[in-house]
Structure 1
Amino acid sequence: MIRIKRSAAAVGAATLLAFSLTACGGAPTDASEDDFCEVATQEPDDVDAIHDWADEAEEVGTPEDIPDDARAGFEAIVELAKDIEEEDLEDENFLDDLSEEEQDEFEAYATYVGETCGGPEVPDPEAT
């Protein structure tokens, strides 16, 4: 299984449920890349911040050119982020039950974010 950093994995805690609840998705499909990236690269660190992120992500949506599998991953992440609870953040094995298709969609979304938005800013060690 692909290792996903804790904040992204935390958002994935209820993915199986999210995939079953996600139909067409209500988030817009015409977001600007700048608006999308501003939301997609946030790293919420607690349940309330994750819920706020989900609301913001659903409001902003995705750019028109996002691949279908990455859009499916986005929709699933938003749905599960809305429903995540504190105990989900403590479960280190919650991704073990993902199907291969679900893992692929999750990875497709992460890849799209990386390619579209770039990586997080890394401080220059010589600047300190």
Structure 2
Amino acid sequence: MLLPKRPLATAGAAVLLALSLTACGGDSPSDASVKDYCDAVRGDTNNEAFAKALEDKDYDKIVDLFKEQAEKVEKVGTPKDISDDAREGFEIQLDAIKDIDGDDVKKAFESNGDSDPFEDKISKDDKKKVEAYTKYESETCSDSGSVPTPDVPTEVPTDGLPTDGLPTDGLPSGFPSDLPTDPAELESLLSNLPTEIPSS
């Protein structure tokens, strides 16, 4: 569920892992289309409602929005090609979101990433499964929501462009293939540039 990830980006990675829970339970379908799955994971929860709840520090409302989105994801389920570990991670996250409340979310925000109130709630094995699911979600849905770009030409036509009368005196003949990053090397490179631009 992408909705909470952006506003929560300042809360730290551990908080994001715990709060971006997007699934719930083993009864969820396992034959969803990739499009339906990715649409559900991305969510359609009202961004304005989430932003307002975040601004108002209405942690109970934030939890309600998370749970609402998790219910939608649970109804859709996962595609058939998900690995067993990733599917279990999906189910672990769905079950975990059922157990969070406003106080958990408040603690997560107040910790500023220094401590994770959710860390103790997930075993080491389950964390690996959640990571497998997170990786699956990221790889499966990374391109499906991108906005199509119009076809843009990759070559610039040069026919008909004037070449006569263009100044070439004083222009460097070659450019370095590796640009330096050390300030001393940059200064040396800059000292080799012409100090005056020729005029026509």
- Fold shared by both chains (TM-score > 0.5): yes
Task: Check 1:107–1:66 CA distance in 2 against 1; reply closer, same or farther (3 A cut).
Answer: same
TM-score norm. by structure 2 comes to 0.48
Contact 2:92 2:126 in 1 (8 A): no
Identity of aligned residues (%): 35
What does residue 124 of structure 2 align with? 100
Contact 2:67 2:97 in 1 (8 A): yes
Task: Check 1:100–1:8 CA distance in 2 against 1; reply closer, same or farther (3 A cut).
Answer: closer
Task: Check 1:73–1:43 CA distance in 2 against 1; reply closer, same or farther (3 A cut).
Answer: farther
Q: Distance in 2 between matches of 1:84 and 1:43?
A: 21
Query: Greater relative contact order (Cα 8 A, min sep 6): structure 1 or 2?
Result: 1
Indicate the structure (1 or 2) with the bigger Cα radius of gyration.
2
Task: Check 1:43–1:73 CA distance in 2 against 1; reply closer, same or farther (3 A cut).
Answer: farther
Provide structure 1 residue ranges, at least 5 long, that are not aligned to the other structure: 13-17, 122-128
> Could you say what the CA RMSD is over the residues aligned between the two structures, in angstroms?
2.7
Residues 26-41 of structure 1 mapped to structure 2, 5 A cutoff: 26-41=27-42
Q: Distance in 2 between matches of 1:43 and 1:90?
A: 23
What does residue 77 of structure 1 align with? 93
Q: Distance in 1 between matches of 2:68 and 2:15?
A: 18
Q: Distance in 2 between matches of 1:63 and 1:100?
A: 25
Of 128, 141, 155, the match for 1:117: 141
Contact 1:74 1:109 in 2 (8 A): yes
Alpha-carbon offset, residue 63 of structure 1: 0.3
Count of aligned residue pairs for this structure pair: 110
1:50-103: CA deviation from partner (whole Å, max 9, x where unpaired): 111111011000001101111111111112223321111123322332322111
Provide structure 2 residue ranges, at least 5 long, that are not aligned to the other structure: 1-11, 51-61, 109-115, 147-200
**Letter paired with 1:40:** V
What does residue 68 of structure 2 align with? 52
What does residue 4 of structure 1 align with? 13
Contact 1:50 1:81 in 2 (8 A): yes
Q: Secondary structure at the match of 1:91?
A: helix
Contact 2:29 2:78 in 1 (8 A): yes
Q: Distance in 1 between matches of 2:44 and 2:131?
A: 17
Q: Higher helix proportion, which one?
A: 1
Task: Check 1:112–1:62 CA distance in 2 against 1; reply closer, same or farther (3 A cut).
Answer: same
